[in-house]
Amino acid sequence: MAHIRKDDIVYVRSGVDKGKTGKVLRVLPDQQMVLVEGMNVKMKHLKPTETNRRGGRIQKSVPMHWSKVQLVDPKTGKGTRVKLVTDGGVKKRIAVKSGSDLGIVSK
């Protein structure tokens, strides 16, 4: 199971965007990838078509492996590891560094 969920704020640990933070737009668990807003931007070349006569290039965020990102601790604002704790039949995510609650995973 992924520790990262949609709408989480994550810190990028490696790659071109190392050190930046962004919001998770989508999680692809079968591929172990996450799509982070404004990160890992690539150029896509478009051929001319009936609707797009000129063609051209567009910038597009592409997914990155979820091992390259880390959840941001709301207390410190830095990346932190996550542990899963079951409390009364409810799974919660807890930040390892500060112990703050990062939300419920499942009931």
Domain extents for the chain? 1-69, 73-107
Report the alpha-carbon angle 94-69-37, nearest 5: 110
Instruction: Specify which residues 2 forms β-bridges with.
Output: none
Q: What is the pTM (predicted TM-score) of this model?
A: 0.82
| Distance, CA of 17 to chain centre | 12
pLDDT digits (tens, 9 = 90+) for 44-89: 999 999 998 999 999 999 999 999 999 999 898 899 999 989 888 8
Alpha carbons within 13 angstroms on the beta-carbon side of residue 55 total 5
The CATH code belonging to domain 1-69 is: 2.30.30.30
Pairing type for strands 64-65 and 33-36 reads antiparallel
Amino acid at 66: W
pLDDT digits (tens, 9 = 90+) for 6-21: 999 999 999 999 999 9
